[in-house]
Structure 1
Amino acid sequence: MTDAPAPKPPRSTDAIAIDLAIRMGFLALFAYLSLRLVAPFAAIVTWSVVLAVALHPVYAWLAARLGGRRKLAATLLTLVGLLVILGPAAALVTSTVRSVTGFAEKIRTQSLELKVPTWLSEIPVIGPDLNEAWSMMTGNLETFLHDYGATVLNLGTHLLGIAAGLAGGILQFAISMIIAGFLFVPGHKLAEGIRHFGRRIIGDRGAGFVDLAGATIRNVARGVIGVSLLQALLLGIGLIVADVPAAGLLTLAALILAIVQIGAAVVILPLVIWAWTSMGTLPALLFTAYMVPVATVDNILRPIVMAQGLTTPMLVILLGVIGGTVSFGLIGLFMGPIVLAVFYELLMFWVEAPRALAADDAPAPTED
């Protein structure tokens, strides 16, 4: 009979801790390197996920109308999204570049002509002074260009740089829309995988937090972007009917300001003042009566739309939208409310957990 092998001596606590630290160190190193590799694509991937989640109800509706042809629905929705993104944006960038380039060329050749607007002197209080200053600058344009031409050219170069950055952002957004198109068809499987990941991280409530993040993205898309589009559409119609100059550019500016939470009122209020200085009393009154509801429609509709289907308080969502936009730019519009909503639910779960545990451990009432 052979002797049984001697049992291995138990590992010390220090050895176990060192082994665990080495494993965690290698895991952290690979995680860091992986994040560094995907960091250049983080914004595109994030926008792709946001677009896929926000547009998934539209994709499901379109696929049902096409007889269940999901790939065709995804292709059509992607093409429409690219058209919406690239059409107006390309026109704006092209117009900006052409205007700035032409202005710079006129300054370089000293062929710029500035005509005094006829309505300038009609502005209450400050109109006459503005008219006099403009006339003085027009009469001494050559001196003005000689003294400040380089500064104006530098400003034009800076504006061209902004236009180039805007073009790069539009291209990035278009790429995100294309990637989102590939996410529509496997969307259910991807969502289930993310729910499973959430369960592994947080436990049974992890899947609920993933669903909460998806619902928050859709509500923010409808409440911020959807309402802003509606407000811009109403504004554009009013400007076209009133024959306001540069109606398209003003509408686009109002849309961008509404999305980034500054508000379209920044554009609408000067337009109302302009109407009272340039129109007759009745047209100005009608213009004002139309623009005031347009300026306030987002304050009424946005809370109603964003609160649908969410248990998170509306104040938490609004704080997330504003704080995320200020901290992280446009992508923070979605990241902010998601982070705050999940944190709020985690906080409420942590607060309520001892109370629920105490209720479960309480003895059942006995009958007399």
Structure 2
Amino acid sequence: MLVGEGNVSRHADPAAPPVDAKVQAAARVAIGGVVVAAAAWVAWEFMAALVWAAIIAIATWPLYNRLAAIGGKRSPVLAPLCFTLVLACFVIVPTMLVARQIAEGSGALLASLHTHGINGIAAPSWLSRLPYAGQCLDQWWRENLSDPNALVVSLRRVNLESLATWAGSLGGVMLRRFLELLTMLLALFIALRDGAWLAVRFRVLARDLIGMQGESLLITLVDAIRATANGTVAAALAKGGVFWLAFVITGVPHPLLFGATMALFSIIPFGAWIILIASAASLLVVNDAPVACAGLAIFGSAVLLIIDHFIQPVLIGGAARLPFLFVLIGIIGGMRSLGLLGLFIGPAIMAALLTIARKWIRAEDG
């Protein structure tokens, strides 16, 4: 016979001591920690996508609130859905444009390789004028690239099986990145839809666990992440504008495409340097303009060093109320440890450290 809840309470031992509230709280924390650790282990493959969704939601929350207020409270789903789709377009559309340009240029590349296989690649006129190694490089070029027979032999050395294996692994990586992108967009939609409720719950949780200092620490982390994201985007747009003008002046082919790609790749660690090298190489190979190539390389290197190491840390530190040294250590150290995610998480960690040093230690001293 099943014993009901009323029977359990009626036959309970009245002499049993009540469970201590601190023991119950410790048990809840322990069980919650185990569940959170298990959930993190299960979702570890998508953890980066979830963190990216949180960062984007935190960075764009003020803008989303303004736009959602304009649309009114017609539907709790329409505003976050539209905002998520717009943000997705900022990632997908530039990527598709770059892929389209690569696809259109692949035909010309194959035709050029076919022509070079027949006629060879002529040595550029500036190569022999290089100091010290110019004559040696010019001779090597003529023996290996200008001679059609030597070029065909070099092309035949390519391992087709290795290329096929590389292409298959590339397809798997692209599929995985696509799934991560979908996960990130879905998590971003949920974060925007329930952002106000999530903010209240996290603040209450921080206050219950650590007290008012925990809530202050949480606000500091959010402000640091938002300042880092805004500073990074502002620096990327500045790079795109400055380099677009430099590309136009120096005669880089497709300056608008290179400028947009520069702005997009500036968010990726060392991505701006890759675009700078590619644009300078196009001046050297396509336009046969070594002077313009050298000028663009020197000017571009100076611009990237100034923006990356001075302007961007100042933008982030001013908004997050962080000293310049803390911002610089957070950006560089975070990127070395966590990659692109470290660009946003590193300054937030340094801001948390500074908050603990300023408020927690001072409170204990008082």
Letter in 1 for 2:60: L
Select which of 284, 292, 305 maps to 2:315: 305
Please report the TM-score for the alignment, with normalisation by the length of structure 1.
0.72
Distance change (3 Å), C-alpha of 1:337 and 1:290: closer
Select which of 174, 195, 199 maps to 2:203: 195
Distance change (3 Å), C-alpha of 1:38 and 1:250: same
Select which of 46, 56, 59 maps to 2:61: 56
Q: Provide the rounded CA distance (Å) in 2 between the counterparts of 1:29 and 1:288.
A: 53
Q: Provide the rounded CA distance (Å) in 1 between the counterparts of 2:294 and 2:30.
A: 70
Q: Provide the rounded CA distance (Å) in 2 between the counterparts of 1:156 and 1:246.
A: 31
TM-align CA RMSD: 4.6
Distance change (3 Å), C-alpha of 1:289 and 1:140: closer
Letter in 1 for 2:122: V
Q: Deviations over 1:75-108 (max 9, x none)?
A: 3332222221112213434655787799799989
SS at 2:89 equivalent: helix
Select which of 133, 136, 140 maps to 1:129: 136
Letter in 2 for 1:89: T
Alignment of 1:1-368 (within 5 A): 8=15, 29-66=34-71, 72-93=78-99, 114-116=120-122, 118-121=124-127, 124-125=130-131, 126-143=133-150, 145-146=152-153, 149-151=156-158, 153=160, 154=162, 158=166, 161=169, 165=173, 168-169=176-177, 172-173=180-181, 175-245=183-253, 247=255, 250-251=258-259, 254-255=262-263, 258-262=266-270, 264=272, 268=276, 278-279=288-289, 291=300, 294-295=303-304, 296-356=306-366
Q: Provide the rounded CA distance (Å) in 2 between the counterparts of 1:100 and 1:163.
A: 18
Q: Provide the rounded CA distance (Å) in 2 between the counterparts of 1:260 and 1:54.
A: 17
Identity %: 20
Distance change (3 Å), C-alpha of 1:121 and 1:309: closer
Q: Provide the rounded CA distance (Å) in 1 between the counterparts of 2:66 and 2:26.
A: 50
Q: Provide the rounded CA distance (Å) in 2 between the counterparts of 1:75 and 1:191.
A: 19
* Range that drifts further, 244-253 or 225-234: 244-253
Q: Provide the rounded CA distance (Å) in 1 between the counterparts of 2:118 and 2:182.
A: 37
Aligned residue pairs total 346
Letter in 2 for 1:331: L
Distance change (3 Å), C-alpha of 1:118 and 1:177: same
Distance change (3 Å), C-alpha of 1:147 and 1:346: same
* Range that drifts further, 94-103 or 342-351: 94-103
Q: Which runs of 5+ in 1 are unaligned?
A: 357-368
SS at 1:115 equivalent: coil
Q: Provide the rounded CA distance (Å) in 2 between the counterparts of 1:287 and 1:106.
A: 26
Distance change (3 Å), C-alpha of 1:87 and 1:114: farther
Q: Provide the rounded CA distance (Å) in 1 between the counterparts of 2:26 and 2:206.
A: 25
Distance change (3 Å), C-alpha of 1:159 and 1:240: farther
* Range that drifts further, 151-160 or 187-196: 151-160
Q: Which runs of 5+ in 2 are unaligned?
A: 1-11
Letter in 1 for 2:184: S
Letter in 1 for 2:236: S
Q: Provide the rounded CA distance (Å) in 2 between the counterparts of 1:324 and 1:350.
A: 24
Q: Deviations over 1:215-237 (max 9, x none)?
A: 11111111123312321232134
SS at 1:116 equivalent: coil
Instruction: Check whether the contact 1:74–1:184 (CA below 8 A) recurs between aligned residues.
Output: yes
Please report the TM-score for the alignment, with normalisation by the length of structure 2.
0.72
Instruction: Check whether the contact 1:75–1:181 (CA below 8 A) recurs between aligned residues.
Output: yes
